[in-house]
Structure formats: C-alpha cells, structure tokens
C-alpha cells in the first residue's frame, strides 16, 4: 500500500517522500527579481526539514509578467550565480527544488508590470486590478518563447524540475477560462482553442529541457466563479497534458476573486474543512496517466495519509503549514503525528509585502 513516506521518482528526480512544498511567493527577491541569500537560506531550511520536493515561489518569465513585490524572475541570464547558489544550497541539505514559471497576464498592475498589463482579452473583471491590453499574436509568441527560455535557464542552473503555473487566475488560466478569454482567433472560443496557449507553452518548455527532465504543472481544476473554468474544461486540459507527456499535475482551484472558495482558504480548523480540492484531484486522476499532486488545506497527518491510501493521490502539497513549521515532514516522520500548527489565518502575506519576506505571524506573537 502506498505510504506518505515512500521514496519515488519523477523521471530522473528522486524524491524521499510524497510531501511537496507547494509554490509560495516569499517576497524575498530584489526589485528586478534577483533571488537573495535570505531566500536561499529559506529554501535550505525547508530542505533540511525533510520535504520531498520544494516548488519555488512563482517566478516571472518576462518583466511584465511580475505581480507582487519581492517576486522572483528568471527572464535574464544575469541571475545565473544567484540561482546556482540557491539550487546548490538545497541539494547540499538533501532537498530537491523545482521552479514555478508564471506570467501574471492581467492579474497585475502597471506599477509591477512596468507597463499596462497584457491579457487574452481587454476586460474589466474583479480579478484584474486594471483593464489589461489584449495580447497580439506576436506578443503571445514572445511569451511562449520566454517560458522556454526560463525553463532552459532552470535546467542549466541546477533545478530538478520546472512547474508551469496554470492555476489561480494567472495567464495560462486566463487563456483556459471562458470568463477571461473572449478571443475570436485560434486561442479562444472552444476548449480546444482555449488550451492552445497552454499546450504551446508546454511544447516549448519540453523542447527547451529535453525528454528526460521533469515538467510539472499546477492546474486549476475549476475557477469557482460563475462563468469561469469548469471541471469538465479542466479535464480536457489535463487529458491533453497527460497525452503530451507532462510529468505530474498538481491540482488546485479558484482565483483571488473566488471569495470563500479562493485557492488560499482561511480558518481550516476541522478535518472536514481540510483537503478542499481533493474531489477535483480525484476527477483529474481518473483521466490522466501521470502522477497527481493535490494542494489545499492539508493539516492532519491522517487526512494526508488517507488521500494517498484511499484516494490514490501520488503527492500531498502544502504551503502555509510549512511557513510555520518548515520541519513538519521530519516531525511526522519521527512519529509526532499531531496536526500542523498552522491556523490558516493568512497573516503570512503581509510581512511579504511590508517587511521583505513572509513569516508566520502567530509564531512571532508567541515569541514577543
């Protein structure tokens, strides 16, 4: 029977257990996106805490794809030394690290993007801070190319895998969703057309890293919004990705405009509020051949273990619990199976914006 602490492999990437640190923007990079020694230290601490795989915070592939302060960029060869120091530190601590590649599309503002944001369609929507500009075909091709260049750099700089950010209302998700994609050309309309940008990004990334290197995706299996991406449409995307050779799909759901059904739900204080994307992930698992990861509200060892044993999940991803307890995997492995101490207050975001890096505000309160 599968176990949370099984050793597994994804292509040539050997993982010590089935626990994954889901991508978490840390707000610890320079204004131009260069990673800092503080961020390297943060990842080294996570690796030392026993997590099987770290997925980096979302990392923009072109400057106008930046959303938040302190976000990482992989758009230039100039950051080679800083990235090599980061991957080297994680490996020295026995860890594995994937970089999450993103373009924010319309889900950013002029101040962060350095220009009017670009999106599939120029729409006024709750999830967009401004009305973006509609992407031209040439700009679409330039962004696809930038994903490929980012992936090439990632492999050269020592990352163990790349993950495409196809969730939470960012550009790939904007193309998939009928709410944000109203294009009438080959990139809009039918679900096949709405998948075109994603599949072209995937193919370009695959060409850049080669057949042996793990290419993963975090995919929203629903937008949790009226008129947004449905599970049925997401299953079409998952089926296409699986057939094309994706190495794992991490299932999430929602956008920042999805209210109580956002990707980062608050107040997970009972087991029945945990694992809030598990039903979607089970549906994805049924249509794909690749491993499936599931993220969203995992706090109890038993809930995580059951998702592996009973629901066939290949990996369990967590974000907030590991901000509070980077050594949670080691604690569980050592036999202390009490739930994560994270109370899902979402207080960790603010220091990322205001103080140069995320941390658990509850832990800080305890110490002061």
Ligand X SMILES: Cc1cc2nc3c(=O)[nH]c(=O)nc-3n(C[C@H](O)[C@H](O)[C@H](O)COP(=O)(O)O)c2cc1C
Q: How far is the CB of 184 from ligand X (least distance, A)?
A: 30
Burial tier of 226 (Cβ tally within 10 Å: 0-12, 13-18, 19+): exposed
Q: How far is the CB of 189 from ligand X (least distance, A)?
A: 27
Window 337-356: residues binding ligand X (CB under 6 A)? 348-349, 352
- Residue 293: strand pairing partners: 250, 315
Contacts with ligand X by CB under 6 A: the residue count is 26
Q: Per-residue string for binding with ligand X, 311-340, x by CB under 6 A?
A: -------xxxx-------------------
Window 239-298: residues binding ligand X (CB under 6 A)? 252, 263-264, 295-298
129 versus 297: smaller Cβ distance to ligand X: 297
Strands (E) across the chain are located at 8-10, 13-15, 19-21, 53-60, 72-73, 97-102, 118-119, 133-134, 161-166, 215-220, 248-252, 292-295, 315-318
Window 103-162: residues binding ligand X (CB under 6 A)? none
24 versus 82: smaller Cβ distance to ligand X: 24
25 binds ligand X (CB under 6 A): yes
Whether residue 74 contacts residue 153, with contact meaning beta carbons closer than 8 Å, is answered with: yes
188 versus 217: smaller Cβ distance to ligand X: 217
122 versus 257: smaller Cβ distance to ligand X: 257
Tell me whether residue 315 is one of the annotated catalytic residues: no
176 binds ligand X (CB under 6 A): no
Taking the CA atoms of residue 177, residue 182, residue 187 and residue 192 in that order, the dihedral angle to the nearest 10 degrees is 50
Whether residue 174 contacts residue 231, with contact meaning beta carbons closer than 8 Å, is answered with: no
Burial tier of 31 (Cβ tally within 10 Å: 0-12, 13-18, 19+): exposed
Residue 140, CA distances (Å) to 21, 62, 94, 169 in order:
30, 12, 38, 17
For residue 323, give every residue at least 6 positions away whose Cβ sits within 8 Å of its Cβ, in sequence order, or none. Answer: 24, 342, 348, 358, 359, 360
Window 43-72: residues binding ligand X (CB under 6 A)? 57-58
Q: How far is the CB of 46 from ligand X (least distance, A)?
A: 13
Q: What is the DSSP letter of 327?
A: T
Stretch that binds ligand X, among 18-26, 188-196, 236-244, 328-336 (CB under 6 A): 18-26
- Of the candidates 170, 187, 202, 315, the residue annotated as catalytic is 170
Q: Per-residue string for binding with ligand X, 192-231, x by CB under 6 A?
A: --------------------------x-------------
165 binds ligand X (CB under 6 A): yes
**How far, in whole angstroms, is CA 59 from its chain's centroid?**
10
Closest to 340 (Cα-Cα) out of 285, 300, 281, 284: 300
Q: How far is the CB of 323 from ligand X (least distance, A)?
A: 7
Taking the CA atoms of residue 209, residue 188, residue 281 and residue 264 in that order, the dihedral angle to the nearest 10 degrees is 90
Distance (Å, whole) CA 304 – CA 18: 10
5 versus 349: smaller Cβ distance to ligand X: 349
For residue 141, give every residue at least 6 positions away whose Cβ sits within 8 Å of its Cβ, in sequence order, or none. Answer: none
248 versus 348: smaller Cβ distance to ligand X: 348
Distance (Å, whole) CA 343 – CA 268: 7
Q: How far is the CB of 23 from ligand X (least distance, A)?
A: 3
Stretch that binds ligand X, among 21-29, 43-51, 185-193, 286-294 (CB under 6 A): 21-29
Q: How far is the CB of 26 from ligand X (least distance, A)?
A: 7
Q: How far is the CB of 255 from ligand X (least distance, A)?
A: 11
Catalytic machinery residues = 170
Contacts to ligand X by CB under 6 A: 22-25, 57-58, 100, 165, 167-168, 218, 252, 263-264, 295-298, 318-321, 348-349, 352, 358
């Amino acid at each position: 029977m599968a176990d949370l602490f099984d050793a597994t492999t994804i292509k040539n990437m050997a993982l010590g257990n089935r626990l994954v640190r889901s991508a978490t923007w840390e707000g610890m990079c320079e204004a131009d996106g260069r990673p800092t020694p503080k961020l390297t230290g943060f990842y080294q601490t996570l690796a030392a805490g026993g997590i099987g795989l770290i997925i980096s915070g979302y990392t923009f592939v072109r400057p106008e794809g930046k959303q938040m302060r302190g976000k990482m960029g992989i758009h230039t060869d100039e950051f080679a030394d800083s990235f090599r120091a980061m991957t080297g530190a994680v490996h020295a601590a026995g860890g594995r690290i994937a970089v999450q590649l993103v373009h924010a599309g319309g889900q950013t503002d002029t101040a962060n993007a350095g220009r009017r944001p670009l999106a599939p369609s120029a729409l006024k929507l709750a999830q967009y801070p401004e009305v973006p500009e509609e992407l031209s075909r040439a700009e679409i091709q330039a962004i696809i190319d930038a994903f490929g260049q980012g992936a090439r750099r990632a492999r050269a700089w020592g990352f163990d895998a790349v993950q495409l950010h196809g969730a939470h209302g960012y550009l790939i998700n904007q193309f998939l969703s009928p709410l944000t994609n109203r294009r009438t050309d080959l990139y809009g309309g039918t679900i096949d057309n709405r998948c075109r940008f994603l599949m072209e990004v995937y193919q370009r990334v695959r060409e850049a890293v080669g057949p042996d290197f793990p290419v993963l995706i975090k995919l929203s299996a629903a937008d949790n919004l009226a008129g947004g991406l449905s599970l049925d449409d997401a299953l079409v995307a998952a089926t296409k990705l699986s057939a094309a050779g994706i190495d794992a799909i991490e299932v999430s759901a929602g956008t920042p405009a999805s209210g109580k059904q956002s990707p980062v739900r608050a107040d997970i204080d009972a087991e029945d509020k945990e694992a809030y994307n598990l039903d979607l992930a089970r549906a994805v698992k049924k249509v794909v051949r690749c491993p499936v990861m599931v993220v969203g509200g995992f706090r109890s060892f038993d809930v995580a273990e059951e998702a592996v044993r009973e629901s066939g999940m290949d990996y369990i991803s967590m974000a907030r619990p590991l901000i509070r307890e980077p050594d949670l995997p080691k604690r569980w492995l050592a036999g202390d199976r009490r739930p994560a101490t994270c109370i899902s207050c979402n207080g960790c975001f603010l220091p990322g914006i205001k103080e140069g890096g995320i941390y658990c505000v509850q832990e800080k309160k305890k110490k002061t």
